[in-house]
Structure 1
Amino acid sequence: MADDNVQSFKIGDVEVLRIVEWRGSFLPARQLVPGVAPETWKEYEGQLAPDHWDPVGDRAMSALQTWVLRSGGRTVLVDTGVGKGRERPGNPLFHQRQGDLPGLLERAGVNPGDVDVVVNTHIHADHVGWNTHEVEGEWVPTFPNARYLLPAADDVHFGPENGYAGGARADDRLIYEDSVAPVHRAGLAERWEGEYRIDEHLTLEPAPGHTPGSSVLRLVSHGERAVFVGDLLHSPVQVLRPECNSCFCLDPRGAAASRSRILERAAQDKELVVPAHFGGDGAVEVRRAGEGFSFHRWAA
């Protein structure tokens, strides 16, 4: 299976499907990762352009995608994109977006009723949107037979218990109420903390900083390894400069510490690093290089 929006590969016994809803220009590069100096983007232009950086417009390139894992006889979704018809006044790219993740999943042979587990690596608009869809004016779970795994720290932080992230952004309340609360009401949500083992191949671990509950999903099968890192990395330039955060990280110091820790293990264990928003091949192996890391091999 291979086309512009649906790609497939294997990691050990686990089939991985990459479902791409959108790819293109996102934000000015130094707005997305403000700590990275202009000369760094230029120095690594050969590795960053054109899939991750447009040097002419000086803009970061990005992708909106969901990863589907077929593991141990079950179908696991990792993040669910922006959704359709959402009120997101704080983000013009996401506001009233008319995406079609279910249609793309169908092209990949995935029926919503066949999904067993939905992993939200964290509770941001572009990771929980297709948790639900609208039916007769009500938001209901898109995957009615799935367990939705929510990081407990994020569910508390962004939910009503904390005044929807303290009421700092109107979008946080909207996101929770249309994409998370309906899953709770349906009895499909499961909060987790510490470490959560999904099956013999898949384990969730905390990686806080981007949000309080940001997490990664580790895959190990027949000696092959991958780590799905959500928004721990927004751009490959952060592999080269792991101390530099995206403009969306709520706890910059914590995010940088989590990023360095996860990349260190990925380099040591030869894990394929699979971020939520990389364009191009979408995933990369990294190696230690001085005080930081380097790109070893992009996913085929």
Structure 2
Amino acid sequence: MLVPHHWEPDTGLTRAATQSWVLRSEGRTILIDTGAGNGKYRPLQPIWSYPNTGHLANLAAVGVRPEDVDIVVNTHLHDDHVGRDTRLEGRDRVPAFPRATYRMPQRDVEYRRPENLPDTVFGRGNQNVYEDSVDPVVEAGPVETWDESYTIDSHLRLELAPGHTPGASIIHLESGGDRAIFAGDLLHGAIQVHEPHINSCFEEDEDGARASRARMFAHAADNNALVFPAHLPGHGAFEMRRRGSGFELTHWAPFSPT
């Protein structure tokens, strides 16, 4: 199930992607995470420095213009999740989605301030992110922060899942008999379903990340919820079940990998 989209057996390398998700719920368009964003300088993250992605074109392809987005949810405030929150207007950074309310976890808004960078695991890897992708939105006014949990509507609920960052979060979707979890960075590779003790190198609290992942996996397995992580290529979403004291991936979502 991991070859070829998630693991290269010849090199031992895993593959990753950066995902945004668009939901339409109760008459509103909701964007979950915004990717790395174009034209932004990341001195210690060259892969994200001055990227030129087709994010807005991809949104347009599914019928979503920036002014159509009602809510932007940032699962946490790393550079590859908030980079498209803003755009340049002249020399100023302004919210990229002009009608949207941005939902940001309060703990990350505080933790990710520039003066705190030296004390974080990611450190200067997140340099400039607050200044060019978070603070302009906060200053413009459309940010609503939250903690512990937040109900978006009758189908969507935000839940704190700390570890990767103090404010890392997941989104629960419930509609009729359907269940889904938008998992943010609780996992970075499909191998973590089978080996949930494995962390990425970016966890601020490694034990907390493992605990949050275990809770999410248990909920997904027990409720037959489709899991949408932020960094899986290929099909990008999956179902899972319990196996002994652990878990296993059972089915990929039935949409074509790209």
TM bracket, shorter-chain basis: over 0.9
> Is residue 106–residue 147 contact of structure 2 (8 Å, CA) maintained in 1?
yes
In structure 1, give the amino acid aligned to 2:181.
V
Counterpart of 2:23 (choices 69, 84, 87) is 69
> Is residue 164–residue 203 contact of structure 2 (8 Å, CA) maintained in 1?
yes
* TM-score of the superposed pair, with normalisation by structure 2: 0.95
Mapped pair 1:164 → 2:116: yes
> Is residue 167–residue 173 contact of structure 1 (8 Å, CA) maintained in 2?
no
- Superposition RMSD in Å: 1.1
Counterpart of 1:110 (choices 43, 64, 68) is 64
Flag structure 2 segments of 5+ consecutive residues without an equivalent: none
> Is residue 117–residue 124 contact of structure 2 (8 Å, CA) maintained in 1?
no
Matched ranges for 1:265-284 at <5 A: 265-284=219-238
SS at match of 1:63: coil
In structure 2, give the amino acid aligned to 1:277.
H
Count of matched residue pairs: 252
TM-aligned CA deviation for residue 167 of structure 1: 5.7
What's 1:128 paired with?
A: 82
Following the alignment from structure 1 to structure 2, what is the Cα–Cα distance between the partners of residues 143 and 252?
Answer: 34
Following the alignment from structure 1 to structure 2, what is the Cα–Cα distance between the partners of residues 165 and 222?
Answer: 43
Q: How many percent identity over aligned positions?
A: 48
What's 1:139 paired with?
A: 93
TM-aligned CA deviation for residue 140 of structure 1: 0.9
What's 1:292 paired with?
A: 246
Following the alignment from structure 2 to structure 1, what is the Cα–Cα distance between the partners of residues 30 and 21?
Answer: 8
Following the alignment from structure 1 to structure 2, what is the Cα–Cα distance between the partners of residues 165 and 245?
Answer: 21
More displaced stretch, 134-143 vs 212-221: 134-143
> Is residue 158–residue 173 contact of structure 1 (8 Å, CA) maintained in 2?
no
In structure 1, give the amino acid aligned to 2:39.
G
When residues 125 and 113 of structure 1 are mapped into structure 2, their CA distance, relative to the original with a 3 A threshold, is same
Following the alignment from structure 2 to structure 1, what is the Cα–Cα distance between the partners of residues 24 and 117?
Answer: 34
What's 2:36 paired with?
A: 82
**Runs of 4 or more above 6 Å deviation:** none
Mapped pair 1:209 → 2:171: no
What's 1:181 paired with?
A: 135
What's 1:231 paired with?
A: 185
What's 1:196 paired with?
A: 150
User: 1:48-84, CA deviations, whole angstroms, 9 ceiling, x for partnerless residues?
Assistant: 1111011122211111121000011000000000000
User: 1:202-254, CA deviations, whole angstroms, 9 ceiling, x for partnerless residues?
Assistant: 00000000000000000000110000000001001110011111111110000
What's 2:73 paired with?
A: 119
User: 1:130-173, CA deviations, whole angstroms, 9 ceiling, x for partnerless residues?
Assistant: 0001121211110011110000111110025xx23346533434
Following the alignment from structure 2 to structure 1, what is the Cα–Cα distance between the partners of residues 124 and 228?
Answer: 30
Following the alignment from structure 1 to structure 2, what is the Cα–Cα distance between the partners of residues 60 and 125?
Answer: 21
More displaced stretch, 164-173 vs 110-119: 164-173
Following the alignment from structure 1 to structure 2, what is the Cα–Cα distance between the partners of residues 247 and 173?
Answer: 17
Mapped pair 1:240 → 2:232: no
Following the alignment from structure 1 to structure 2, what is the Cα–Cα distance between the partners of residues 139 and 206?
Answer: 28
* TM-score of the superposed pair, with normalisation by structure 1: 0.82
Following the alignment from structure 1 to structure 2, what is the Cα–Cα distance between the partners of residues 209 and 151?
Answer: 13
